[in-house]
Amino acid sequence: MQSRLRVQGHPIQPMLVTFPLGLFVSATVFDLTDVAGGPAFLGEVGYWTGVAALVAAALTAVAGMVDLWDVPVDRTRRTAVAFNLVNAVMAGMFLLSCLVRAHSPQRARQPRSCSPKWSRWPSAGSACTWAPG
């Protein structure tokens, strides 16, 4: 398969794929470390790493769609479409996560003392300690 987008004879899209993959994994590791009790700034780092991953995923998707334009309808095209759909679903999940956290001032886990309503949420319950009274 020949790519339309090239830099010095090398296709761009395979080079771009590594960025969202690495950034999504890094964002997940930062968030899990933050929830597990790591330093508070890791939630902020995880948020901004997720935003960078979304930008990289968008660039990768555009490059993939340009390359997909010339692929004949066969198994290669089905594989490329499946890859782009997985990329879109993964980016959509991270976009939802970033949108939920965007209005939080610290974009990290919930503070150590939470209201009782947060204790019902598994993610907030694991990141908060609620003491009655």
Can you give the pLDDT of all 133 residues of the chain as single tens digits?
Answer: 566 767 777 777 788 888 988 998 999 999 899 888 888 788 889 889 989 999 999 988 888 888 788 777 888 888 888 888 888 888 888 888 888 888 776 665 554 444 444 444 444 444 444 333 3
Distance in angstroms (rounded) separating the CA atoms of residues 132 and 130: 6
Distance in angstroms (rounded) separating the CA atoms of residues 16 and 20: 8
pTM summary value: 0.68
Domain ranges of the chain: 6-127
Beta bridge partners of 113: 129
Two structure tokens written together for 43: 């939630």
Closest CA to 83 of 13, 28, 26, 4: 13
Distance in angstroms (rounded) separating the CA atoms of residues 43 and 100: 13
